[in-house]
Amino acid sequence: MAAKETAGILNAPTKSLPAPVSTQSHSSCSTTRAIGLFAIAGALGLLVNHACWHDTPLTHPRNFHHGGTEALTNICPQAPELIPQRNFDIWESLGATYDTDAFKAKAVNWLSEAVQVPTESYDSLGPVGTDPRWEKFYAFHAYLQKAFPLVHAELELTKVNTYGLIFVWNGSNEGLKPLLLAAHQDVVPVEPTTIDRWTHPPFSGHFDGTYIWGRGSCDDKSGLIGIMSAVETLLETGYKPTRTVVLAFGFDEESGGIYGAQTLAAELERMFGRNAYAMIVDEGSGYGEIFGRNLAMPGVAEKGSVNVRIEVSTPGGHSSLPPTHTSIGILAELLVRIEANPFRVHLARNSPPYRTVQCLAAHAPNMPDGLRRNILASGYSDKALRAAEDVLFTNSPAFKSLVGTTQAIDVIQGGVKVNALPEQAWAVVNHRISTESSVAETEVHDTEVLKSLASKFNLTYTAFGKNVVDHDDRGAYAFLAYGNLTLSEAFGKGGLEPAPTTPFEGDDAMPYRLLSGSIKMTFNRHRNVEGDDDVIVVSPGIMPGNTDTKYYWNLTPHIFRYGHIRTTGTLLPNVHTVDEAMSIDNFVEIIRFFTTLIMNVDESALS
Ligand SMILES: *[C@@H]1O[C@H](CO)[C@@H](O)[C@H](O)[C@H]1NC(C)=O
Ligand SMILES: *[C@@H]1O[C@H](CO)[C@@H](O)[C@H](O)[C@H]1NC(C)=O
Ligand SMILES: *[C@@H]1O[C@H](CO)[C@@H](O)[C@H](O)[C@H]1NC(C)=O
């Protein structure tokens, strides 16, 4: 079947997993039929849509594939499709169930009704118990209880910090590490001024025959309800897992996860222990067509972040006798300097975005020929690497942002009255830190960039608690000290380091291969496809935003941010904006994905 042919022609020989088996031995399947978050696809999508390619695409991609060099087989190795073996009959019958209109109608109700329960979280929320705005989550819990009776009857539910939910589905073998599936109950608020622009009201859950509309239909109720639907449907068949499955649903992911995932993490660690989970799958990117090939990009890494506050203070006074530069004028020059000195960005060979473009070079038929040649050669040639990087960064600034440490000046404040000199002015720069860098390196960069201006304005310069330029050192000129420049971590909150990268190759990558095989099986079964044009390629990806998993590092090294959300088509999911919507076809595919993943991980040899 498709996977077999692809594996033979394009892919490196994969270490086969002890169990479950690849569908290569289940010919019955070969003839059956067939989205922080979405930025990789978005970033690369820009690449695809950009009109300025200097190269023409290959006219005969198949010649490229069949005539490909040996070296190609070592680039972007692919795991084969995986289906459960022991419970194959259940998997197959569920597959048929998911194809029916009756199931589709059920799935529409599940997601649509979930969207109708507003669960917005806000940046300004106070602790649980003090802020009444959290109470709307009771209604969501009541909905879950009504919609998923078997999950509530058979799994053990623990509520953490009132609104966090952990469901434990005991496996028969307590010696196996549990699979942890995560999602979040909250959604971003709807901007009041945009409500009229929604085709259907944001909490209507309207179904138009193709799409379920509304805030959260994609982010992340499709994940949460997708998981619940898969478990409920598995329970209906009488399925009993061997390996324990744990579901963990935070309730403030969109505002940092402080009250939700952070407290869930402690309870999850208390329940099973540190490093005691086989793998975690939380929300994240999905799949879509890029350069003529469907590509799925589970996030194996997540960027770090830090908010740097830049504060200038100078003596106040009456504005009729002003100095040449006020605090605001000085701050303005500092900010111009910041923007004029962005972080240097290079595509590092071991970084996930590099792996993504390698996968495209090895598997995507419509990648421009020159770019493909440079990417393929970049494994050993620095010149080719720089050339590829140049084309990628020029054509897709979003891709460049994904690779490097970014900076965005997002908040500014200063001055109180038109006739008073501002004693203070400050701004906050939001940085998203490259997986190749760190909080410390980011802070050093900012500190250095502003150093000469601190001297120029005779400011005493303190950065992150350390003295950088001190006018006391100036001896006789100390009297010229004019004011202070202070850099600090804004809001009293420390930075977040980039997440440790989840293993995606070598002996330690069995969870990655299990996930890959499950993605492929889901994609192909959902379409009943045969033939290598339809086969999806799986590549390690990166999460540009953060997820609840930033609190879950202690639980396992195998963390994936992946939601099987379709990122191309006539209507994009519109995450975080007007007209968020999820197609019912994609939603059923998401349920199929979680079902396949649960069953495959259950039978795997992961200890
Ligand atoms: C699951 O297993 C644990 C540990 O053996 C046990 O304490 C708990 O009661 C079980 N829960 C259910 C719902 O069977
Ligand atoms: C600068 O900082 C020093 C030490 O905290 C303080 O004494 C001084 O008043 C500050 N200068 C201005 C202009 O705010
Ligand atoms: C800073 O101090 C120098 C002397 O060290 C002086 O010449 C200069 O005018 C001062 N600059 C400002 C902006 O006050």
pLDDT in tens, 78-134: 999 999 999 999 999 999 999 999 999 999 999 999 999 999 999 889 999 999 999
- Give the pLDDT of residue 532: 55
pLDDT value of position 72: 59
Task: Give the Å distances, CA to CA, from 284 to 76, 219, 220, 543, 560.
Answer: 20, 9, 9, 7, 8
Q: How confident is the model at residue 577, as a pLDDT? A: 80
**Tokens (6 digits) for 554:** 């202690």
Ligand 3-lining residues (CB < 6 angstroms)? 457-458, 477, 480, 482
Judge whether 282 is annotated as a binding position. yes
The CATH class for the domain spanning 304-345+404-492 reads: alpha beta
pLDDT of residue 575: 78
- The finding on whether 483 has its CB within 6 A of some atom of ligand 2 is yes
State both tokens at 160: 């953490």
Q: Residue 346 — very low, low, confident or very high, per pLDDT cuts 50/70/90? A: very high
Please say if 186 is a catalytic residue: yes
pLDDT over 50 at 22, yes or no: no
Query: Is 389 one of the catalytic residues?
Result: no
Tokens 């692919």, residue located: 78
Question: How much is the average pLDDT of 502-508?
Answer: 94
Output the residue whose Cα is nearest ligand 2's atom 1.
Answer: 484
Token pair of 247 as six digits: 């579901």
Q: Is 99 annotated as a binding residue?
A: no
pLDDT beyond 70 at 14: no
Q: Is the pLDDT of residue 20 over 50?
A: no
> Which residues are within 8 A (CB) of 83 and not within 5 positions of it... i.e. 6 or more apart?
20, 21, 22, 23, 26, 29, 91, 521, 596, 599, 600
pLDDT at position 472 is: 61
| Mean pLDDT calculated for residue range 374-382 | 95
| pLDDT value at 397 more than 50 | yes
CATH code of domain 88-301+500-603? 3.40.630.10
Cα 264 from Cα 131, distance rounded (Å) = 19
CA distances to 41, 300, 375, 377 from 357, in Å: 11, 15, 7, 12
Question: For residue range 238-287, what is the model confidence (pLDDT) as tens digits?
Answer: 999 999 999 999 999 999 999 999 999 999 999 999 999 999 999 998 89
- From the CA of 474, the nearest ligand is 3
- Does residue 484 line the site of ligand 2, with CB under 6 A? yes
The total number of residues written for the chain in this structure: 607
The two counts, helices (H) then strands (E), for the chain are 18, 20
313 lines ligand 2 (CB under 6 A): yes
What pLDDT sits at residue 123? 84
Q: Domains of the chain: which residue ranges?
A: 88-301+500-603, 304-345+404-492, 349-396
- Of the ranges 42-51, 203-212, 349-358, 406-415, which one carries the lowest mean pLDDT score? 42-51
From its phi and psi, is residue 287 left (phi > 0), alpha (psi between -120 and 50) or beta? beta
Task: State in Å: Cα 155 to ligand 1 middle.
Answer: 9
Report the DSSP pairing between strands 537-538 and 293-296: parallel
Q: Look-up: residue for tokens 């070969």?
A: 30
pLDDT at position 58: 32
For the chain, give the longest Cα–Cα distance: 88
Nearest to 290 by CA among 73, 89, 529, 567: 567
